[in-house]
């Protein structure tokens, strides 16, 4: 096998060799979204985060990563030009087929890296459940990058904890660290975390005991699309955050990869 950890860059004999040579072959499936992240960031933020994290975990843990799935459930962002959304049912179907294909080749551990957090999570969970029922010899898990960086978020955060999760302090920091040429710093502005008059959050607050639908929004409402303050973002902050995420997530993958040997 070559030095690459990307499935799509390998020949089929090389993939076969990888599976044969390992007692518990593991593959990562990255999925993101193509959606607006404010006037200062490109549509690919979630997709790039998923792809970069999957690639770096694969290298650190010496496993393979499948090609990025760049689309997810982004219906609540369709008011902004360029956003592409798949229905939850479509995401489930795509993931289930991808999982079944990989399991059929002999991968025993399939780990999804989710770059689109709670919006993609219902589909990922359903797809894993369906695939697990069909592929009893394969283990499935999904990684939420934020959960692997809680401590470093607390150390680095300068803004309000509720403000920076969509195109704000940390996503902008990641892009400044990895794709600075795609960040329009002249468009930086602090955006309100107010979800709008029609959001259930204005009735119950941000209560993690309650599940509510994402609130649709559009620039016609004067909404810039992002939440939080990108002026607090720095490339250094992005690199520190990313190093912690990769280290913690790679440790998790290594535990799964080695735990079945």
Residue 203's pLDDT band (boundaries 50, 70, 90)?
Answer: very low
Strand partners, 72: 85
pLDDT, tens only, 40-73: 999 999 999 999 999 999 999 999 999 999 999 9
Q: How many domains does the chain have?
A: 1
Within-domain flag for 2: no
Judged against a pLDDT cut of 50, whether residue 135 lies above it is answered with yes
pTM of the model: 0.88
Please give the pLDDT value at position 151: 75
Within-domain flag for 1: no
Judged against a pLDDT cut of 70, whether residue 213 lies above it is answered with no
Judged against a pLDDT cut of 60, whether residue 5 lies above it is answered with yes
Within-domain flag for 126: yes
Strand pairing report for 26-31 and 109-114: parallel
Which residue is listed with tokens 């991808």? 98
Please give the pLDDT value at position 214: 67
CATH of the domain at 39: 3.40.50.10310
pLDDT, tens only, 68-119: 999 999 998 999 999 999 999 999 999 999 999 999 999 999 999 999 988 8
> What are the backbone angles phi and psi of residue 77, rounded to the nearest 5°?
-110, 5
What sign for the dihedral angle of Cα 132, 135, 137, 138? negative
Angstrom distance (rounded) from CA 167 to CA 153 = 15
Residues 6 or more apart whose CB falls under 8 angstroms from that of 177 comprise 235, 236, 237, 238, 239, 242
Judged against a pLDDT cut of 50, whether residue 29 lies above it is answered with yes
Domain coverage including residue 192 = 7-259
Mean pLDDT, rounded, of the chain = 87
Q: What is the DSSP letter of 108?
A: S
Please give the pLDDT value at position 196: 53
Please give the pLDDT value at position 261: 44
Angstrom distance (rounded) from CA 164 to CA 43 = 17
Judged against a pLDDT cut of 90, whether residue 130 lies above it is answered with yes
Between 82-86, 131-135, 197-201, 229-233, the lowest mean confidence (pLDDT) is in 197-201
Angstrom distance (rounded) from CA 235 to CA 249 = 21
Within-domain flag for 179: yes
Residue 182's pLDDT band (boundaries 50, 70, 90)?
Answer: very high
> What are the backbone angles phi and psi of residue 63, rounded to the nearest 5°?
-125, 180
Of residues 154 and 210, more confidently modeled: 154
């Amino acid at each position: 096998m070559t030095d690459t950890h990307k499935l799509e860059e390998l020949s089929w004999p090389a993939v076969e060799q990888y599976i044969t040579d390992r007692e518990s072959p593991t593959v990562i499936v990255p999925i993101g979204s193509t959606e607006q992240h404010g006037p200062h960031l490109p549509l690919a933020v979630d997709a790039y985060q998923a792809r970069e994290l999957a690639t770096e975990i694969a290298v650190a843990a010496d496993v393979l990563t499948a090609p990025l799935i760049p689309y997810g459930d982004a219906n609540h962002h369709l008011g902004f030009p360029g956003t592409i959304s798949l229905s939850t049912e479509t995401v489930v179907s795509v993931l289930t087929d991808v999982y079944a294909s990989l399991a059929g080749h002999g991968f025993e551990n399939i780990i999804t890296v989710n770059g689109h957090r709670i919006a993609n999570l219902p589909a990922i969970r359903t797809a894993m459940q369906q695939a697990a029922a069909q592929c009893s010899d394969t283990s499935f898990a999904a990684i939420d990058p934020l959960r692997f960086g809680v401590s470093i978020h607390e150390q680095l955060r300068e803004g309000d904890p509720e403000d920076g999760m969509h195109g704000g302090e940390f996503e902008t920091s990641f892009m400044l660290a990895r794709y600075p040429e795609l960040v329009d710093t002249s468009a930086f502005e602090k955006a309100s975390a107010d979800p709008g008059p029609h959001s259930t959050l204005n009735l119950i607050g941000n209560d993690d005991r309650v599940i509510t639908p994402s609130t649709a929004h559009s620039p016609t409402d004067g909404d810039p699309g992002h939440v939080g303050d990108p002026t607090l973002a720095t490339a250094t902050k992005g690199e520190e955050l990313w190093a912690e995420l990769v280290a913690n997530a790679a440790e998790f993958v290594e535990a799964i990869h080695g735990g079945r040997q």
